[in-house]
Chains A and B, each alone.
Chain A
Amino acid sequence: MDNLYIAPTPSSPEVDFRFDTHRLSLRGESYPENAAAFYADVIAQLKAYLAQPQDRPIDVQIALAYFNSSSTKMLFNLIEALNDAAQAGRQVDLHWYHDEEDDTLFEFGQELSSDFPALRFLSHPVRPA
């Protein structure tokens, strides 16, 4: 299937899902007006990719400096889809980048790692610029 690339805007992240090399990344800030609409297609394509028979490990990089409440929910759904694949036997590494001073992002990452134990969760504190 085709890779998915969505260029970043000030209020939506760069989506760079390279399905051919099993490397998926989300970077930037996420507060689109309608997060459900923005992420619906992203999640649909991710699920289509995960449904393909394939056993190569997946490398996921999430480096979001900020996401609003409705993006939080969509992100949770996206990571849940990855966890489902991991539970079915696929290796999924989730690299979670958060500003070292940002407790909210850190705690959300901790919550993801405890909610989705099938993922190999790697937390990366980043120094503020």
Chain B
Amino acid sequence: MRASPIADRYGPFLDLAHQHQVIFYYVGYFSQNIVAAMAEAVKLQLEVAGVSGPTRRKLFSAFIEMAQNIIHYSADTLTPPSLDDGELRHGSVCIRQESDGRFLLLCANPIDPETAHGLRAKLDTLRSMTLDEIKQAYRQTLREEKPEGSKGAGMGFLTVARDAREPLEFDFAPADRAGGPPVFYLKAAL
């Protein structure tokens, strides 16, 4: 059969996704409707992949927290920064499986350099905490007033960390375009 120019180019991309056992990947703008549609796709994918009920629920929960963080905090926004509903912001999210069967959730979005500083401190603290301390902080935050600067309850990272099997990993990379904001990466192993 004659080599297909489309398969030649698109094939390696699909092969790479296959090698990395990518279950779900999205890059683009995030809105609430887009997240709800992705939520449906993720649920179906995990069910078809035969993932156990409890793991599926934890993955789903972490996925929603990450996706909604992008809606609320990505520095690449199409809507005015003052808006707290109907937002549209850019980022990416990925669910993949490792050879040992564990799942990895990854997300990335550009972030304001000023926000990056506080975020690093917050995640460093979270990484140093034991599971019991994380659960304790979760219970405490639930009963406190909503923290300054949060558009949710200030419990998103705690929720993901509580369900993860290892401390959350994060990174800040230089801008992907000249003069652009740094890119924030977050990884959770479930």
Taking Cβ atoms with an 8 Å cutoff, the residues of A that contact B are 9-11, 31-37, 66, 68-70, 72-74, 76, 99, 101-104, 111, 128
CB of B153 closer than 8 Å to a CB of A: yes
**Sample of 12 more A-B contacts, CB < 8 Å, known A11-B36, A68-B61:** A10-B40, A32-B32, A34-B151, A37-B85, A66-B60, A69-B153, A73-B142, A99-B53, A101-B57, A102-B54, A104-B163, A111-B139
Main SS at interface, chain B: helix
With A70-B153, A72-B142: A101-B53 Cβ-Cβ less than 8 Å: yes
Whether B153 lies near A35 (C-beta < 8 A) is yes
Nearest-CB residue, chain B, relative to A10: B36
Whether B54 lies near A68 (C-beta < 8 A) is no
Q: How far is the CA of A33 from the CA of B139 in the complex (A)?
A: 22
Chain B positions 75-93 with a Cβ under 8 Å from a chain A Cβ: 84-87
User: Chain B residues near A128 (CB, 8 Å)?
Assistant: 53
Chain B positions 153-180 with a Cβ under 8 Å from a chain A Cβ: 153, 155-156, 158-159, 163
Whether A69 lies near B159 (C-beta < 8 A) is yes
Measured CB to CB, the closest approach of chain B to A6, in angstroms, equals 16
Measured CB to CB, the closest approach of chain B to A45, in angstroms, equals 19
Inter-chain CB contacts under 8 Å: number: 79
Measured CB to CB, the closest approach of chain A to B80, in angstroms, equals 15
Whether B159 lies near A33 (C-beta < 8 A) is no
CB of B134 closer than 8 Å to a CB of A: no
Q: How many B residues face the partner with a CB closer than 8 A?
A: 31
Chain B positions 42-69 with a Cβ under 8 Å from a chain A Cβ: 53-54, 57-58, 60-61, 64-65, 68
Q: How far is the CA of A103 from the CA of B52 in the complex (A)?
A: 13
User: Chain A residues near B36 (CB, 8 Å)?
Assistant: 9-11
Nearest-CB residue, chain A, relative to B159: A69
Whether B53 lies near A11 (C-beta < 8 A) is no
Measured CB to CB, the closest approach of chain A to B154, in angstroms, equals 8
Contact of B146 among A9, A11, A37, A73 (CB under 8 A): A73
| Interface-central residue, A34, A72, A99, by most chain B CB under 10 Å | A34
Q: How far is the CA of A62 from the CA of B71 in the complex (A)?
A: 28
Q: How far is the CA of A82 from the CA of B73 in the complex (A)?
A: 33
User: Chain A residues near B54 (CB, 8 Å)?
Assistant: 101-103
What are 11 residue pairs bridging A and B, where the CB atoms are less than 8 Å apart in the complex?
Answer: A10-B39, A11-B32, A31-B64, A33-B71, A66-B57, A68-B68, A70-B152, A73-B142, A73-B155, A99-B53, A111-B139
Contact of B57 among A33, A34, A69, A104 (CB under 8 A): A104
CB of B35 closer than 8 Å to a CB of A: yes
Nearest-CB residue, chain A, relative to B85: A34
Whether B153 lies near A73 (C-beta < 8 A) is yes
